[in-house]
Structure 1
Amino acid sequence: MRPLSSLAMAALGSGVIAITYGLARFVFGLFLPSMREELTITSTMAGVIGALPFLSFVFAILAAPWVTRRLGVRRAGVAAAGLAGIGLITIAQAPSSLLLAVGVLICGISTGLSSPAMAEAVYRVVPPDLRGRVNATINAGTSLGIALAMPAVLVWAEAWRSAYTGFAALAALAALAALCYLPREERISLSRPRLFSAPVSRAQWLGLARLSGLAAGMGCVSAAYWVFAPDAVINAGGLVSSQTAWMWLAVGIGGLTGAGGGDLISRFGPAMTHAAGLTVMSASLALLAINPGNFALALSSAALFGAGYMILTGFYLVRSTQIMSNAPAFGPVLPLLATSVGQVAGSPLAGWLVGAEGHVATFTLFATLGLAVAGLGSWLLKERATADERAPG
């Protein structure tokens, strides 16, 4: 079989990420109102369950570079998509909140495995000058998965179990595509556990640490939206479930701008790109807080959130692989891990605040936090990008 072209790698990687991130991890909030009603889930419990895919992601992504080297890119990609399918079908069949939590937990594992595997695949098949663009395009596949949830909600309305069964079928197709087309390689012996092809400098570690700290703050801010935005417009704003489907379509369409994350870094620099992404995300939270019952504002909020979130995750992915150029599978691990740690903290915090203060106050506070992280990023990233990229590796 001929090696994948850059375009084919972008398409395949986007498909895998669409399943593991978009459907297995981030559409949970869209169906949460129906799940809460059928399974009698409180706001606090919903926040805890919503944190589970982020928590399992933490452990999965720590193991992902080793798994990728041990199994090879192809097997790691198949494992990621396959676990997504198992998690999704478990959610579809869950008779209680406990089994729902188990399915959500498995979905988080699939997400943690997929990004490092795709980053390694890009490193192996894509020319160096195109890797930033292809990585950002693959990362934007999350938006495609989120957008797929829109027709699912319109077709099945309150039948979230049917939607998740359909998502599981798509995950099986993604696993098959990964098996057929991802680059084949021999498994790495356990006696050769090295992740780095060259020594990692202090400047590289510091650059990655700054990036990860900012990613944690962004993850915390984003958690409120992923878990409680549909709940806010339905329970606080009085909109109906079918309207939240249009919101998620707007998130997906807005998120497609994340495909340009690599180009934004090249043109405007890391500090400005990061600040712009967080400002857009904060604006999305503020719009929802202004009037959660206004459908036009809700759509605008969703599009801005999708754009902000995908630009930022693309930013962390591209910058981390640039900084850790000698370890492409490891580069995204710490920033994506930090994003998930922030989401693990932000989800139950948002759930508690929703129960105590309501949706409007919660989204206002999280929007303010987003602006604070934007300001911090402007200071941490300014004048440091050149030093990181000059680091040996």
Structure 2
Amino acid sequence: MKSMSSTGFALFGAALIAISFGLARFAFGLFVPPIRAELELTPEVIGIIGALPLISFVLASLVAPFTADRLGARTTAVLSSGFGVAGLAVISQAIGPLSLGIGVVACGICTGLMMPALTAAMQAVVNRSLHGRVSSVMNAGTSIGVAVAVPTVLFLSDAWRFAYLSFTVLAAIGVIAAWYFIPSVSRVTPANAAPPPPITALQWSRLFRLTLFAFAMGFVSAAYWVFAPDLTVTLGNLPSGETGWLWLAVGIAGLGGAVVADLADRNNPPITHALMLVMLAASLALLAASPGQLLLAVFSALVFGLAYMSLTGLYLMTGIRLLPGRLSMGPVLPFLAVALGQAAGSPVIGMLVDKFGYADGFAIFASIGILVAMLSPLYPRYIDHESEEEVEPTGLQAAYNLQLLKVDGEPIEPITGETKSQ
């Protein structure tokens, strides 16, 4: 394994997230118009297929922490990238809804395994006080992957099979890079090590509220991820190739999500959550109102990208803050909730589009987003609002932090709450 600084690991993790989340998962919506036309699929079928990778993501995420503990971070990351290669390759050769569904399911498994693998590796190579910030940077990698997919649509609007073959090659490079850069981490707990502090009732309560908000946001965002390009083509009569500008805007604006999430984490999370959720709902309404105006559609994509990535980053950092020292649970639960929300929202928006049309379907989802935003004062605050890097851990937490980690068979220095210069 090649050693990396915290910054280097954050950037490398963002690259792997770009492949697994950006290309293997969210790029699918960009290619819905040509795929639906060539395979002759209805919006309802597309909605169901769009939910499949989210379901497989959830199932993979449930076993991912156990896999990372048993197989190590490196093997889990390689396994994740391998599923990405297989899924993207199958999509590129899809001949109907069944083969397309198999491909997107494999891509969902890829995304479910990747973040826990990177989280396990992060515990070994990144100082604990930087975990939240590094996780937020890695999360922004989704925007990079989405932006990478754009040129294939802008210049090869009808060549979606070639595009997915290109993604397959990038995923294969990710397999090699994961093997070379990700440490093979296995945690060894001494017999006299104190267990992690039990989760209090207050923590459970706030984690439950976080999960509900994450689910609702995922539900509302499903409409944009799955059907936004198809809406502009079907309702706005825009050329299929021009929909690439939407995803480019989502990718560029989404990079700012890491900054917004970090600022919200240190200031007022409930207010930021309300603002970003209103922006997300507004992006759906704007797109439905002006699907034939390319500039307005691109602007809606900018708003959506910033809002979505800010919210997912905020959920990630809130989970870490609510359950410090439990990286296999704190940041995982809100991600699962977002995926479950998208899995539930995808077929629902498909049915609404079939019954009422794109405009009314998107308007209904935007209204749901506004209603959830009004409940943002209930968004959970941290148990102790002081950032953990400013407080020296004591008692059980200090004992738990002094656990032994083994990287490639060699022990490394225990992780503490002190910030070291990189």
Structure 1 residue identity aligned to 2:124 = R
In 1, the alpha carbon distance for the partners of 2:386 and 2:371 equals 26
Supply the RMSD in Å over aligned alpha carbons.
2.1
1:142 pairs with 2:139? no
Contact 1:30 1:244 in 2 (8 A): yes
Q: Name the residue aligned to 1:66.
A: 66
Q: Name the residue aligned to 2:412.
A: none
* Percent of residue pairs bearing the same amino acid type: 47
Distance 1:225 1:188, change over 3 A: farther
How far the C-alpha of 1:296 sits from its partner, in A, is: 0.6
Q: Name the residue aligned to 2:215.
A: 216
Distance 1:89 1:385, change over 3 A: same
Q: Deviations over 1:96-122 (max 9, x none)?
A: 211000000110111111112222222
1:1-393 paired onto structure 2 within 5 Å: 1=1, 3-186=3-186, 197-381=196-380, 384-387=381-384
Distance 1:269 1:386, change over 3 A: farther
Distance 1:340 1:6, change over 3 A: same
Structure 1 residue identity aligned to 2:96 = S
How far the C-alpha of 1:274 sits from its partner, in A, is: 1.3
How far the C-alpha of 1:129 sits from its partner, in A, is: 3.0
Structure 2 residue identity aligned to 1:385 = Y
Give the alignment's TM-score, normalised by structure 1: 0.94
SS of residue paired to 2:183:
coil
Contact 2:265 2:314 in 1 (8 A): no
How far the C-alpha of 1:389 sits from its partner, in A, is: 7.2
How far the C-alpha of 1:83 sits from its partner, in A, is: 0.8
In 2, the alpha carbon distance for the partners of 1:187 and 1:110 equals 23
Structure 2 residue identity aligned to 1:24 = A
Distance 1:132 1:152, change over 3 A: same
Contact 1:323 1:388 in 2 (8 A): no
How far the C-alpha of 1:183 sits from its partner, in A, is: 1.6
Moved more, 119-128 or 300-309: 119-128
SS of residue paired to 1:3:
coil
Contact 2:265 2:317 in 1 (8 A): no
Unaligned regions of 5+ residues in structure 2, if any?
A: 389-395, 398-422
Give the alignment's TM-score, normalised by structure 2: 0.87
Contact 1:323 1:389 in 2 (8 A): no
Highest CA radius of gyration, 1 or 2?
Answer: 2
In 2, the alpha carbon distance for the partners of 1:288 and 1:329 equals 37
In 2, the alpha carbon distance for the partners of 1:40 and 1:131 equals 46
Contact 1:55 1:341 in 2 (8 A): yes
Q: Deviations over 1:167-192 (max 9, x none)?
A: 01101111111110112234879xx9
How far the C-alpha of 1:238 sits from its partner, in A, is: 0.5
In 2, the alpha carbon distance for the partners of 1:199 and 1:4 equals 33
In 1, the alpha carbon distance for the partners of 2:201 and 2:114 equals 28
Contact 1:72 1:188 in 2 (8 A): no
